[in-house]
Amino acid sequence: MIFHSALKLAQAVRKREISAEEVINYFLRQIEVKEAGIKAFITVCADQALEQAQALDRRTDLPGLPLAGVPVAIKDNIVTKGIKTTCASRILANFYPPYDATVIKRLKEAGAVIIGKTNLDEFAMGSSTENSAFYPTRNPWNLECVPGGSSGGSAAAVAAGEAPLALGSDTGGSVRQPAAFCGLVGLKPTYGRVSRYGLIAFASSLDQIGPLARSVEDCALLTRVISGHDQHDSTSSPRSVPDYLAELSQPLENIKVGIISGDLLKDVNPEVKEAFYFTVKQLEEEGAQIEELHFSSWAIGLPCYYIIAPSEASSNLARYDGVRYGYRDLSEKQLLSMYQTTRTEGFGAEVKRRIILGTFALSAGYYEAYYGQASKARLLINQEFRQALDKVDFILTPATPEPAFSFGAKADPIAMYLSDIFTVTANLAGVPALTLPVRCSAKGLPIGIQLISDFFQESELFRLAFLVEKKVEFIKEYNKIN
Ligand code: GLN
């Protein structure tokens, strides 16, 4: 069962070939066996999950549930009623939310079982899960390497077979980069496709919740369940949600794929570059027309992101003051010093760095020079994207500049930030982007590519990814870690 697809599991539960209880027990056992090495979870909800599964088994309407009995792991920055939600931060270490995020509500309605809450970089700030206040998560493909971040726990859980599906959040690559590091399919949906009600905010103009799965089919299935309009999120789109899974079988015709030009690949690891051109070849064999695109704005994406994201974060994180939420230093009697020690003790180093950067960028006299300038740069990037997507249907890039790196390898924050060079652009532009594993490096680490399409073209994106997936047969690589 370990590497069965979610699709098959749900089918089997719907037909009562296996009970939801048996499924959840199986995965809870996997977690028991593997967690000591991987540490993907902050909280395993064994009791609640078992109860949820037993309740499902008693239902008479199982055949109507798309995710009947499928365990799903949830990044610990998505709120779950009565289940601790920490953001991997000391400041929220004992936060029990009084409500479910909309995506959680939708998962439950679809018959999914919440199996646990996964580790992340504190407040989703990072690319390796080393910034968790609790412990780092390890990459199931090589325990000496990071799983990526910030949704590293979600990615590691799915890659290790501790859960068939997971949710992450993606502000600058946090679903796609860990998916690439762990050999998974990960999607950042179009801004507005998935409700963020109950996602603890990092940078509100960039955040999206996204799925992680081992196959395109599973990713399509999960995306459909979580997508759609929500009255609780004013940025969610009222557009109808296609049946992504059913549409996978529709052929794509006259595909035009733009690939980023060679100069943007010059600092990319040679094996990643090889995997990228290998994918180009696969697409050509499928009849795709390939066109090289010259983005003059690609390189400014990263600096632009690292002004906008920390600025928004500094504002969003102002609410953690020890009064309204989370940890408070009770020894302090004066208001100002209570704020100071609460935040000093509650936040980790990277979160503090972002708050300082963001506060500086927004401060009087500097606002125009930093935030204003970054917003203009963002417009430029968006314009270039629009022009490119008028010419081609998809844009292909590597997912990451290199495969998973070792713990401690990126102690310099700038080196860490550079891991996001290919992913931040889609968040700035708001368009959907998917990463997909295509092969393994000589050291046995997965290498992913990224496909980007126009707004709300998730269905097309899945179809193209499905095509590539069938050609590269990455799933076979899982035999190496099973
Ligand atoms: N790695 C990026 C950052 O540190 C992206 C994080 C994310 O997408 N949540 O900001």
Catalytic option among 75, 105, 108, 188: 75
Residues in the chain: 482
User: Which among 125, 132, 146, 205 is the best mutation to test ligand 1's pocket, defined by most ligand atoms within 8 Å of the CB?
Assistant: 125
If we measure between CA atoms, which residue out of 164, 218, 155, 223 comes closest to residue 195? 223
Q: What is the 3-state secondary structure (H, E, C) of 96-164?
A: CCCCCCHHHHHHHHCCCEEEEEECCCHHHCCCCCCCCCCCCCCECCECCECCCCCCHHHHHHHHCCCCC
Distance (Å, rounded) from C-alpha 168 to C-alpha 175?
A: 6
With contact defined as beta carbons under 8 Å apart, do 156 and 165 qualify? no
* b/e 379-412 (16+ beta carbons within 10 angstroms → b): eebbebbeebbeebbbbbbbbbbbbbbebeebee
Ligand 1 touching residue 420 (CB < 6 A): yes
State whether the beta carbon of 172 lies less than 6 angstroms from ligand 1. Answer: yes
Torsion sign over Cα 44, 48, 50, 56: negative
List 150, 195, 215, 441, catalytic entry = 150
Please give the pLDDT value at position 324.
Answer: 84
Q: What gap in Å lies between CA 406 and CA 141, rounded to an integer?
A: 12
266 is catalytic: no
User: What's the pLDDT tens digit per position in 154-175?
Assistant: 999 999 999 999 999 999 999 9
pLDDT tens column, 121-152: 999 999 999 999 999 999 999 999 999 999 99
Q: What is the pLDDT of residues 288-306, one digit of tens each?
A: 999 999 999 999 999 999 9
- Answer whether CATH 3.40.50.2300 is correct for domain 6-249+451-480: no
Residue nearest to ligand 1 atom 10, measured at CA: 125
pLDDT > 90? residue 453: yes
If pLDDT is split at 50, 70 and 90, which confidence band does 479 have?
Answer: confident
What's the pLDDT at 59? 96
| pLDDT of 326 over the 80 cut | yes
* Residue from 195, 241, 207, 176 nearest 102 by CA: 195
Backbone CA torsion sign across 135, 136, 137, 138: negative
User: To the nearest whole percent, how much of the chain has pLDDT over 70?
Assistant: 100
Distance 250 CA to ligand 1 centre (A): 34
User: Does the active-site annotation cover 453?
Assistant: no
Q: In the structure, what pLDDT confidence band is assigned to residue 1 with cuts at 50, 70 and 90?
A: low
Shortest-distance Cα residue to atom 4 of ligand 1: 126
State the catalytic residue, choosing from 128, 174, 215, 314. Answer: 174
Identify the band that residue 264 occupies on the pLDDT scale cut at 50, 70 and 90: very high
- pLDDT, one tens digit per residue, over 217-252 is 999 999 999 999 999 999 999 999 999 999 999 999
Domain residue ranges in the chain: 6-249+451-480, 302-371
325 falls in which pLDDT band (50, 70, 90)?
Answer: confident
Q: Which amino acid is located at 13 in the chain?
A: V
Q: Is pLDDT above 80 for 371?
A: yes
- % of the chain surpassing 90 pLDDT: 95
Phi and psi angles of residue 311, each rounded to the nearest 5 degrees, phi first: -60, -50
- 465 band by pLDDT with thresholds 50, 70 and 90: very high
Q: Which of 149, 53, 65 is nearest to 111 (CA)?
A: 65
Model-wide pTM > 0.85: yes
Q: Helix %, strand %, coil % for the chain, to 5?
A: 45, 15, 40
For residue 125, the CA-to-ligand 1 centroid distance in Å is 5
Q: Is 236 a catalytic residue?
A: no
Residue that has been written with the tokens 């995997």 in this structure: 275
25-52 average pLDDT score: 97
Separation of alpha carbons 398 and 402, rounded Å = 9
Asked if residue 402 has pLDDT above 70, the reply is yes
* Average pLDDT taken over every residue of the chain: 96
pLDDT of residue 359: 97
Residue 202, pLDDT score: 98
Q: Which atom of ligand 1 is nearest to the CA of 124?
A: 9
Nearest C-alpha neighbor of 37 from the set 132, 121, 135: 135
pLDDT digits (tens, 9 = 90+) for 54-109: 999 999 999 999 999 999 999 999 999 999 999 999 999 999 999 999 999 999 99
- The pLDDT score that the predictor gives to residue 3 is 78
